[in-house]
Amino acid sequence: MSNSGFSKAGLHRVHDVLARHVDSGKIPGVVALFSKGDEAHVETIGTMRHDGGAPMRRDTIFRMASTSKPVSIAAAMVLLDECRLRLDDPVERWLPELADRQVLKRLDGPVDETVPARRPITVRDVLTSTFGLGMDMTVIGTPIMNAVFEQGITPNLPTPMPEQDEWMRRLGTLPLMHQPGERWQYQISSDLVGVLVSRVTGQSFESFLRERIFEPLGMKDTGFHVPGDQLDRLPPLYAPDPVTGEFQVWDEAATGRHSTPPAFQGGGGGLNSTADDYHAYFRMLLNHGMHEGERILSRPAVELMTTNRLSPEQHAARHKLAVDNVHVSHGQGQHGGWGFGMAVRTYRGDYAPVGQFGWDGGSGASTYADPVNRLTGILLTQVGASVPDPVHLMLDFWTALYQAIDD
């Protein structure tokens, strides 16, 4: 038994499991930072590039992809705490582009075959990812998904997303896929949160996040682009060929999408950060909104974010999406519930207990905290989920971390 709550043998296994993935040649390098109680452990293994070069370091900066969601949502929680937003207010006051919505008659039907929305979209719908429009990889090729891609309102397309007012204009041309509040859907709502925060505050989304979340938490390396004098700390992002597994650079550091400020500050996947910055954020959530004696968020705000917000019907649909499409996620994402901006475990499907919260990113990041064990884990690499390898790394990391608990 060690005084950190992890066994020595268990910690060795965490290292060996991570090293095995790097030694396989499928993962160039990895940074893992995890803690139980007050003691943190760090593993830095491998190199920034798959062909060698500089080693991974504790302060390496990563594209956080969808692990941006659980962090960027905190800006909206500040506004709820300050009564500048109410959960059941219609959003059209700030987002007039979303007034008077039309809803598809059939998910796979023509985009002009619609019925009026039964009610306005509310703040709650946006924060819970149930406002009616999102990314659904199981209906790729339908007219509505084609229209979403044609409008350029999702990340990772050849052309980056436009600035937020143009983004909203394009979003407003589309019908909803489901009635407001009816169905949990992915991604678009997380980007919409950023626009909502920006319009309520009259600031850019990033400046509000920096002022209210990043600076108070000491998250000095977190933002929507990496400054030029820090780009040597950013590895390339690889998207290996799904058939051959051959490494392909999807985003180079010096000339890539994260080297200059983006037109659109995407709360759904635009942040760059480090293991220590993310660790500070998730520890704050474990501490009920407190950081080093300073209150960042109220306890009820944190409880609202980190517990399941889906109705039984929404929950059933989301669970079905996960378990019926394991081939899409390679087995990750089967948590049951969803809070605000993050997954929440509602059943014990693996080593993690009910109540664990956080999310994963398609660039090879995995970030969770567990109030039952007072455990936080941040796992960072830069291999995209075009192949199963980074997801297998995540799954093995969390298994290894939980087997190391000794208390």
Give the 3-state secondary structure of 347-380.
Answer: CCCCCCCCCCEEEEECCCEEEEEECCCCEEEEEE
pLDDT for res 138: 84
Beta strands 62-63 and 102-104, pairing class: unpaired
Confidence grade of residue 234 (pLDDT, cut at 50, 70, 90): very high
Confidence grade of residue 1 (pLDDT, cut at 50, 70, 90): very low
On whether the CB atoms of residues 185 and 151 are closer than 8 A, the answer is: no
**Helix extents (H) in 156-274:** 164-172, 188-201, 205-209, 215-217
* Contacts (Cβ under 8 Å, ≥6 apart) of 113: 104, 105, 106
Confidence grade of residue 3 (pLDDT, cut at 50, 70, 90): low
Q: For the residues 80-106, what does the mean pLDDT come to?
A: 98
On whether the CB atoms of residues 205 and 194 are closer than 8 A, the answer is: yes
Q: For the residues 353-372, what does the mean pLDDT come to?
A: 97
The pTM score is 0.97
Q: For the residues 371-399, what does the mean pLDDT come to?
A: 97
Residue 42, pLDDT above cutoff 60: yes
Q: At what angle do helices 69-81 and 275-286 cross, to 10 degrees?
A: 40
pLDDT for res 334: 78
- The chain-wide mean pLDDT, for the chain, equals 95
pLDDT in tens, 5-17: 999 999 999 999 9
Q: What is the DSSP letter of 393?
A: H
d(CA 288, CA 284): 7
**Cα dihedral sign, 65-253-170-100:** positive
pLDDT in tens, 381-391: 999 999 999 99
d(CA 276, CA 274): 5
Cα dist. 295→81, 131, 218 in Å? Answer: 11, 30, 13
Residue 44, pLDDT above cutoff 70: yes
Q: For the residues 352-363, what does the mean pLDDT come to?
A: 96
* Contacts (Cβ under 8 Å, ≥6 apart) of 285: 302, 305, 306, 357, 369
pLDDT in tens, 153-177: 999 888 999 999 999 999 999 999 9
On whether the CB atoms of residues 344 and 336 are closer than 8 A, the answer is: yes
The region that residue 74 occupies, defined by phi over 0 for left and psi between -120 and 50 for alpha, beta otherwise, is alpha
pLDDT for res 299: 98
Q: For the residues 173-199, what does the mean pLDDT come to?
A: 97
d(CA 12, CA 169): 53
pLDDT in tens, 46-71: 999 999 889 999 999 999 999 999 99
pLDDT in tens, 260-296: 999 999 999 999 999 999 999 999 999 999 999 999 9
Confidence grade of residue 378 (pLDDT, cut at 50, 70, 90): very high
Confidence grade of residue 315 (pLDDT, cut at 50, 70, 90): confident
pLDDT for res 329: 73
Cα dist. 138→107, 312, 315, 324 in Å? Answer: 11, 21, 17, 10
